[in-house]
Structure 1
Amino acid sequence: MDKDLLFKYNIPGPRYTSYPTVPYWQKTPPDPLRWTEMVRETFHISNAAEGISVYIHLPFCESLCTYCGCNTRITTNHAVESRYVQAVLAEWNMYLQRFGGVKPVIRELHLGGGTPTFFSPENLAVLVNGILQHAEVPSQHSFGFEAHPGNTTGAHLQTLYDLGFRRISIGVQDFNPIVLALINRHQTYEQVCDLTRQAREIGYTSVNFDIVYGLPQQKTCYMMQTMLRVIQLRPDRIAFYSYAHVPWIKPGQRSYTENDLPDAEKKMAIYETGRNALELAGYHDIGMDHFARSTDPLYEAQQTGTLHRNFMGYTERSTRLLIGLGASAISDTWSGFSQNEKKVEDYYRRIAEGMLPAFRGHELTGEDLVLRRRILQLMTRFETSWRNTGETCDGLYAALERLSEMEEDGLLEITPYCLKVTEKGRPFVRNVCMAFDARLWKDLPQTTLFSQTI
């Protein structure tokens, strides 16, 4: 990669799991009545045709992985499981009431965390059965969960498989013991190997590995060793993403300093080492930070244009309604967002009051919706197009002006009604999306809000 381009474009920027990004949401959550209207409207428009997605956030972990930017609660007290499961099911029942007696068609279901496998197989069965009891599951569905190699058992795998799960995402991060010790991640290659083997023997059809570049004390030789082991295990898809150093948000990251992190040039060398290894092994770049084998549904979705991106990451198909359950989970009606209380105690209190536990959200404007489509297309197709007046706005034209320099640098091509990111420009797709972020440009942050784009 051109070092000059690296230093030029390696700036703080959002990851665009949503637009507008969370820091630019309106100051107060949508009015509860208005949020109910938005949910009902989207549900009745889209449920029969495309179904809905459900994300359940399970925040508990037995130990803190210091690199992690997720909302977590550290405890070794597993007595917390039952209460949390009952609270999530109570929240789900509130949404069922808002669906007006119509059964939701759950197309996608994802258990994230935290550590979902902190919960016993028995409690996970109570949770999932409680969600599915008053719902329909189509034959073409996608159920997945995040698994820690250190505590995921054969009973976890079999229980969730019997409930319809076929996708598992294994948190590998790195195989180097020096790096793992620094980020307080306790697992071995043998555990990852055994978990992958067991999942496939049971019948899981999609195995994902999470790999992180830019971790403390990480080196290119470490990444090459990690990727050689990854390739031997042949996961179907790989999330190969940049470590986000945000110690002002996640104090656990203060257990090491910026001096422990690879600088921008070394970090990009680590990335290129990993990326080249994956491409030589037959993996395809299907979207920001994600690679898949040609036999994986994510690759097929990218090729056919059905690939979607939301708060659960990349998915094979789009549903307009995403219901987020649990502390800090985010729901999406396409025209609006609502995020639950982050603290578990606050979440419990709101549920006990019989209220949906939102503490912030955003209702999109007409311009927001136009720009959201542009950014989503860039994230899933590396291109975006517009022809009708309903697909344009002042923010679009302002973005095209901002992108002239990136076009000169060969990172993208702009033709009438269309923008395409070049192969050279793919590592900079976050920067391209930033040009469309009208809210960011109207109110540039005075302090650091985001991690580096590269």
Structure 2
Amino acid sequence: MNTISEKLIQKYNVPAPRYTSYPTVPLWSNDLNERGWISMVKKAYEDFGDEEGITLYIHLPYCESLCTYCGCNKRITKNHAVETPYITSIMNEWDAYLRILGTSPKLAGIHLGGGTPTFFSPESLKEMLGFIIGSSEVMPDAEFSFEGHPNNTTRGHLQTLYNLGFRRVSYGIQDFNLDVQKAIHRIQPFERVKEATDVAREIGYDSVNFDLIYGLPHQTLETITDTFQQVALLKPDRIAFYSYAHLPSAFPAQKSFEQFLPKESEKRGLYERGKEILAKMGYLEVGMDHFALSNDPLYLAKENKTLHRNFMGYTTSPSKILLGLGNSSISDVYYAYAQNTKEIDLYKEQISLGHFAVSKGHIMSKEDIKNRNLILQLICNQEASWDFCYYSLLGKNNWERLKTFREEGLIEFDASGIKIKTEGQPFIRNICMVFDSRMQEKEEQKFGFSKAI
């Protein structure tokens, strides 16, 4: 097993963005009003929509119980009467976008996230998605996916969504150890996960993804080895292996297990053990946190250098337009970002009044676009060319930082571009920060990012 220097872990294990966007949300300029947002959406669709279509992210925030590790925007309730008014708001929001985009916009993909999308009944999901899909022109290679909780993803959910065109499902597993599951308040037996996986494959889903987390309370090298041995029995097509982000000031429930968390050096050991087992199981590294089998489209996109990254993580979709529907959802239309209000009732109220529920946003400058392109190249391809005059514009301090990374054996660079070496991949977030001029302008401020390692 390859290990990395403990000294480098300590040096670079600092708060850092995951760069699902650039600039990252805390650094948005918030210079976007509703009229400006409508203008940006129109411009982006005119420029890119006909060829690439649009991708939709639909945020479904309700959960029946609280998973104490979770950092997502959610509301805990067992009252399923909330379903109808919420999906009505989603459909009204989409109808507002239809008035901007024109009749039958081209649809390149849909992803349902949460919360727990399978909190909603199959009937509710069918009503909402039937309206969205029925008012769109679904592109031939469109990709529809959803996040499912193994405990409440029923055959009815899987069959209904399959009938609507969904072919990818992602199950939040996190860990199979019972002590870990109890600590994070997410108990789901292996048998239930197996059933949800088997039914999806029986119905005809092309891809099953498992989300796993390292750095959780009570995890040890032995427990994480056992978790991966159980994962191997089910052989998902993709695996996301995330670092647990401990931010108790933002998510107070995380304080309940603070004393049981592994130390930083132990946490990195958990990742190295998991990565070693993944390699033996035949999984290849796609990018930060993501692994796939060699014939998976995500890995093939990495090999072909067509991989893309947005707020949903790595994707094969080339679409530059991601529209977020629902409270707290984020939209990216290349020229601007926007996020809906996080508060559910305010979101529903604003939509009912005929407004977009945008609470913050950012209009991209030319420099922002250049920085974003370079950071995306690094995160997706681990290399980038100096196509954007960086060789003369980086500045002395940033060149010194790059030279330090090179001296530490993490990167290579010359007059034509930069390449992140295998040894540097664990530090990719730190390396990308060199090109984050927005953060450097406000480096005295503190932002709520998780640690890089």
Question: Quick one: which of 24, 28, 40 aligns to 2:27?
Answer: 24
The residue identity in structure 2 corresponding to 1:84 is Y
Deviates more, 1:380-389 or 1:405-414: 380-389
Task: Report what 1:343 is aligned to.
Answer: 343
Query: What secondary structure, in the 3-state scheme, does the structure 2 residue paired with 1:145 have?
Result: strand
Task: Report what 1:294 is aligned to.
Answer: 294
Contact 1:61 1:115 in 2 (8 A): yes
Query: After the TM superposition, which residues 6-405 of structure 1 pair with which residues of structure 2 at under 5 Å, given as runs?
Result: 6-26=9-29, 28-99=30-101, 101-257=102-258, 259-387=259-387, 389=389, 394-395=393-394, 399-405=398-404
The residue identity in structure 2 corresponding to 1:141 is A
The residue identity in structure 2 corresponding to 1:60 is Y
Contact 1:395 1:438 in 2 (8 A): no
Contact 2:178 2:187 in 1 (8 A): no
State the distance in 2 between where 1:344 and 1:264 align: 36
State the distance in 1 between where 2:392 and 2:130 align: 45
Query: What secondary structure, in the 3-state scheme, does the structure 2 residue paired with 1:138 have?
Result: strand
The residue identity in structure 2 corresponding to 1:374 is L
Contact 1:371 1:396 in 2 (8 A): no
The residue identity in structure 1 corresponding to 2:106 is V
State the distance in 1 between where 2:392 and 2:319 align: 25
Contact 1:9 1:428 in 2 (8 A): yes
Deviation at 1:289, TM superposition (A): 0.4
Query: What secondary structure, in the 3-state scheme, does the structure 1 residue paired with 2:50 have?
Result: helix
Contact 1:411 1:425 in 2 (8 A): yes
How many residue pairs match? The answer is: 450
Deviation at 1:110, TM superposition (A): 0.1
Contact 1:179 1:218 in 2 (8 A): yes
TM-score normalised by structure 2 residue count: 0.97
Contact 1:237 1:291 in 2 (8 A): yes
Deviates more, 1:162-171 or 1:424-433: 424-433
Q: What's the CA shift string for 1:119-161, capped at 9, x where partnerless?
A: 0000000111111111011221110000001100000000000
Contact 1:29 1:359 in 2 (8 A): no
The residue identity in structure 2 corresponding to 1:394 is L
Deviation at 1:388, TM superposition (A): 5.2
Deviates more, 1:183-192 or 1:380-389: 380-389
Instruction: Give the ranges of 4+ consecutive aligned residues of structure 1 lying more than 3 Å apart after TM superposition.
Output: 391-401, 445-448
Contact 1:61 1:72 in 2 (8 A): yes
Contact 1:211 1:240 in 2 (8 A): yes
State the distance in 2 between where 1:317 and 1:184 align: 34
Contact 1:370 1:392 in 2 (8 A): no
Deviation at 1:317, TM superposition (A): 2.4
Q: 1:287 to 1:419 in 2, by over 3 A?
A: same
Task: Report what 2:7 is aligned to.
Answer: 4
State the distance in 2 between where 1:30 and 1:441 align: 22
Deviation at 1:445, TM superposition (A): 4.5
Q: What's the CA shift string for 1:91-143, capped at 9, x where partnerless?
A: 001111011x2421111100000000000000000111111111011221110
Q: What's the CA shift string for 1:159-207, capped at 9, x where partnerless?
A: 0000000000000000000001000102111111111111111100011
Q: What's the CA shift string for 1:51-83, capped at 9, x where partnerless?
A: 110000000000010111100010000000010
The residue identity in structure 1 corresponding to 2:27 is Y
State the distance in 2 between where 1:290 and 1:153 align: 26
Q: 1:396 to 1:341 in 2, by over 3 A?
A: farther
The residue identity in structure 2 corresponding to 1:61 is C
Q: CA RMSD in A?
A: 1.4
Deviates more, 1:391-400 or 1:35-44: 391-400
Q: Tell me, which stretches of 5 or more residues in structure 2 are unaligned? A: none
The residue identity in structure 2 corresponding to 1:298 is L
Q: 1:105 to 1:266 in 2, by over 3 A?
A: same
Deviation at 1:446, TM superposition (A): 4.1
State the distance in 1 between where 2:444 and 2:17 align: 12
Contact 1:302 1:380 in 2 (8 A): yes
The residue identity in structure 1 corresponding to 2:324 is G
The residue identity in structure 2 corresponding to 1:55 is Y
State the distance in 2 between where 1:155 and 1:102 align: 31
Deviation at 1:249, TM superposition (A): 1.1
The residue identity in structure 2 corresponding to 1:187 is Q
Contact 1:43 1:321 in 2 (8 A): yes
Task: Report what 1:425 is aligned to.
Answer: 424
Deviation at 1:341, TM superposition (A): 0.6
Q: 1:59 to 1:397 in 2, by over 3 A?
A: farther
Deviates more, 1:443-452 or 1:347-356: 443-452
